[in-house]
Amino acid sequence: MDERSELVDRVVLVTGGTRGIGRGIARTLARAGAAVAVNYCSRAEEAAATVAEIEQAGGRVIAVRADVAVRDEVEAMVEGVAAELGTIDVLVNNAGIATMRGVDDITEEDFDQTLAINLKSAFLCTQAVLPGMRKRGWGRIVNVSSVAARGGGAVGVHYNASKAGLEGLTRGYAARLAPEGITVNAIAPGLIDTEMAAPLKESGVADRLPVGRIGTPDEIGQAVLMVIGNAFLTGQTIAVNGGGSFL
Ligand code: NAP
């Protein structure tokens, strides 16, 4: 299979695509020939740095600011990307937060904020890109879940719930959209070397993993590329976790 041809002239939106895992996904898909929009919320300087990096490598890329938990901002973002790059063919719902909380110190606000940014955002972004994908009869949606969707993990119950919900959303959309040429899958990373993972890096997780190290953002990008290239793969969660389970 020629993976490059699948993405040449396709337009990709990666939410939270300016740093961490999202940046790894964005640069991998740009290398494969896609025009990429990287979304961010507050760190404009890191967005500019990611755009510069992808451009220097010969990629076509723009940065677009929006809080993905806010419907009006999502709709404006999708319209803006369409105006600058064209209709979105591939949506990667990657933006997320991981606010560490114990069972006794988690608040209602923590719970609501995590569900809004990690789960509702994927619903809002999916609804916004669907009309364009349906018109073309082709679309790829990849949701970045976590091993925490099925395991306990270290972040908290709000995070577990948001990622388990994201996998339910994935299967629900997949079943309904498959006849229209749109696949919907999830990637469930284990610990990946980003700012989000910093508090857990020193905990010895790497030593407990069969591969003996934590993952890189580009390794998640490769998994996203693989999923996009397979029209018969839908409604699945692909674990990319160095051989570990339920950390
Ligand atoms: P990260 O380094 O903290 O980056 C998070 C990204 O999401 C940033 O680009 C950030 O934008 C963006 N973002 C946060 N809130 C947003 C909002 N309301 N609207 C738009 N963008 C927003 O995190 P990461 O480690 O790359 O994680 C990316 C995804 O992978 C998350 O869904 C996370 O749950 C999942 N994941 C991570 C790991 C891991 O070990 N790192 C493991 C499993 C799953 P700004 O820069 O503007 O803040």
Fold of the domain built from segment(s) 3-240: Rossmann fold (3.40.50)
- Ligand 1 atom closest to Cα of 95? 7
3-class secondary structure, 230: coil
3-class secondary structure, 215: strand
Which has more pLDDT, 207 or 125? Answer: 125
Q: What are the Cα distances from residue 229, in Å, to 23, 106, 190, 232?
A: 19, 40, 22, 9
With a CB cutoff of 8 Å and minimum separation 6, the contacts of 50 are 17, 18, 19, 23, 26, 27, 38, 61, 63
Q: What is the pLDDT of residues 117-126, one digit of tens each?
A: 999 999 999 9
Domain ranges of the chain: 3-240
As a whole-number percent, the residues of the chain with pLDDT over 70 amount to 97
Radius of gyration of the CA atoms of the chain, in A: 17
Q: Enter the tokens of residue 136.
A: 């073309």
199 falls in which pLDDT band (50, 70, 90)?
confident
38-58 average pLDDT score:
98
C-alpha 179 – ligand 1 centre gap (Å): 31
Could you say which DSSP state residue 42 is in? S
Q: What is the pLDDT of residues 154-177, one digit of tens each?
A: 999 999 999 999 999 999 999 999
As a whole-number percent, the residues of the chain with pLDDT over 90 amount to 90
Ligand 1 pocket test target in 13, 14, 15, 19 with most atoms within 8 Å of CB: 19
5 falls in which pLDDT band (50, 70, 90)?
low
C-alpha 72 – ligand 1 centre gap (Å): 20
Contact 144, 187 (CB under 8 A): yes
Ligand 1 pocket, residue 247 CB under 6 Å = no
C-alpha 175 – ligand 1 centre gap (Å): 27
Ligand 1 pocket, residue 159 CB under 6 Å = no
3-class secondary structure, 234: coil
246 falls in which pLDDT band (50, 70, 90)?
very low
